[in-house]
Amino acid sequence: MTDIITKIVRRSWIWVLLAFWIAITLTGCNPTQYKVKAAQVPELLIATTADPKTFNYALSQEIPNIFGFTYEGLAAVNGDTKKIEPALAESWDISSDKLRYIFTLREGLKWSDGKPLTADDVVFTFNDIYMNKLIPNYYKDNLRIGISKAFPQVHKLDSRRVEFVLPEPFVPFMGLIAAATTILPEHALRQAVETKRSDGSPVYLSTWGTDTDPKKIIVNGPYIIESYSTSERLIFRRNPYYWRKDAQGKQQPYIERVIWRIVESPETLLLQFRSGGLDLLEIGPSSFQLLKHEEKRGNFTIENAGPDSGASFITFNLNKGRRNGKPLVDPIKSRWFNNVAFRQAVAYAIDRQTMINNNLRGLGETQNSPVFVPSPYYFSPKQGLKTYDYKPEKAKQVLLSAGFKYNDKGQLLDADGNIVRFTMLAPASNKPTVPPKIKQDLSKIGMTVDILYADFNVSSNKVSNTLDWECYLGAVVGNIEPHDGYNVWAVEGSYHLFNQKPSKGQTPIEGWEASDWEKKIEDLYVQGAREFDETKRKAIYAETQVLAQKYLPFIHLTNSLALLAVRNTIQGVKYAAIFPSPGGYIWNIYELKDTKNKA
């Protein structure tokens, strides 16, 4: 399996229906092709697999994107501590009833064009862009607070203070809004928001596309876009008005220029790094095996940030509903899938350690929870989380105890004599890897699995729209804030994947129902969003993980390690497996130093 796969889509939790084995990566091109002549300034050479889709932060839904370089929010997540720290806001106050947040901006903040950054920009960003019903954007979901789904009220108190009034107490506010939502410039964008096109939509929807002159893109982050050559490279230049300074008062970022090359070929990417044409490279297991032997000769070090904030899984369609009188799932198979013993047997039957050994070259671990290891709310097996180690004989006993049986050919039958056979929907990119292994493992307990390979668009349509599927093999990327998965665990959530209700405008479903454990998990997520005592909050989310592992709506498989090859001439890298972006090595880009080209 190739190590180099691109993250494509962002969704809230963020649970992403991507091709299986999603991984954050970068890619490159020939190191001599774009070499800057007589480079004397500190610079960073990196690469990406695809061109940016937009320069407009609010309209972006893709990863990788440029915004870890160009924008910041009121607060930020520290990749080391995973705690929320001040960014554009130097401080904030929370009322005793937890309904009012007052942010105080740093004094003297400026946009990249030298104009003042004030409370007006904050109010404009939230009221006129993120919460504008005419501007579809990913961030709108996170701004709908709690059970009421009401937006916060955002008011200017003075030039440096902004008040957010929440409809109900909401602990994730800081993580999902203040630290994951950037501030945009009113003076550069208000006209585009207020001007309407012939169809009534704002001109903003076509503003700051990748065809825009980069010099017209106004930012507040460490870098501005200097130039962009389609399918070749982006060049970022240090923002002279960026607010951060180090303890000695020196302006940050330290690196003057970032050259971000664009190349689709993973092979070229690896060659590029090995030949010295890249300073940083996020790598996968097979690249690790090759590069580890070259660390000393190549003058680089491989950093290991531990388990990534993502994992693979399989899930069964538990929806008992009907469309136009026809069951979404064959009633016979639906009875299997909705039998928790059936799902537990499948979990025991999958040899996940062999997947780690073979596909991840030992550079990963089993994933047992819907909350990811980098999150402070992760509840581990050592703390009591149930696991499903590879035990095919136990799987058979679980099935027999649940009324299943075997015929003389070793085929698994249900109590009515039906042969257990179902179809697993899997990404077309993974034909030679995990799907055949799952098929083989389940055959050992008498199950017949037919694999239906499909590209992303087809599988996404089946799982989210037509709901015409039986078993699905996919992957997820997760925020360290567990409430980001509320729309997965809410029984009528927009991404309650394993028992989905139709979204607005889709054909309705008759007979849809949610089980008691689904409702219980949703209730716990509501409690977790309201509980400000950190010890109690961790206990609440631990209970959600216990229930998820008991009833197995998702059978989690494996999680790879987050690995980064770093040229030794680049100092200050604090690689962190956190999501959302900026994560990885981007979260502290302002601290990185280039010792080969000192300023």
Structural domains of the chain in order of their starting residue, each with its CATH number: 21-71+202-307+560-594 (3.40.190.10), 75-189 (3.90.76.10), 310-559 (3.10.105.10)
Which one-letter DSSP state was computed for residue 501?
P
What is the rounded CA–CA span in Å between residue 555 and residue 272?
A: 38
Q: What is the DSSP letter of 90?
A: E
| Structure confidence at residue 457 (pLDDT) | 79
pLDDT at 76: 92
HSE toward the beta carbon, residue 138, CA cutoff 13 A: 23
Per-state percent for the chain, helix, strand, coil, to nearest 5: 30, 25, 45
- pLDDT at position 431 is 65
pLDDT digits (tens, 9 = 90+) for 449-477: 999 999 877 888 898 889 999 999 998 77
Apex 421 CA angle, 420 and 425, nearest 5 = 140
CA dihedral of 585, 588, 589, 591, whole degrees rounded to 10: -120
Joined tokens for residue 585: 């090595």
* Residues 478, 372: Cα–Cα separation, whole Å: 7
d(CA 206, CA 189): 11
Give Rg (Cα) of the chain.
25
Give the burial class of 83: count Cβ atoms within 10 A of its Cβ; 0-12 exposed, 13-18 middle, 19 or more buried: exposed
Q: Which of 427, 449, 422, 452 is nearest to 438 (CA)?
A: 449
Question: Six-digit token pair at 305?
Answer: 């940030």
Report how far residue 335's alpha carbon sits from residue 556's, in angstroms, rounded to the nearest whole number. Answer: 21
Residues 370, 366: Cα–Cα separation, whole Å:
12
Residue the block writes with tokens 């790879």: 560
- Please answer whether residues 355 and 557 qualify as being in contact, where contact means their C-beta atoms are separated by less than 8 angstroms: yes
How do residues 376-411 score in pLDDT, each as one tens digit? 999 999 999 999 999 999 999 999 999 999 999 999
Q: Longest Cα pair distance anywhere in the chain, in angstroms?
A: 80
Nearest-angstrom CA–CA distance, 63 and 10:
7
pLDDT of residue 486: 87
In which residue ranges of the chain is pLDDT below 70?
A: 1-39, 430-431, 579-581, 599
Q: How far apart are the first and last CA of the chain?
A: 42
Please check whether residue 348 is in contact with residue 552, taking contact to mean a CB–CB distance below 8 angstroms.
no
Here the tokens at position 285 are 């297991």
For residue 578, what pLDDT is reported? 80
3-state DSSP assignment of residue 260: strand
CA dihedral 315, 320, 325, 328 (to 10 degrees): 10
CA distance linking residue 505 with residue 503, whole number of Å: 6
pLDDT given at position 266: 80
At 104, the amino acid letter reads: T
The C-alpha atoms of residue 267 and residue 269 are separated, in whole angstroms, by 5
Residue 580 confidence (pLDDT): 60
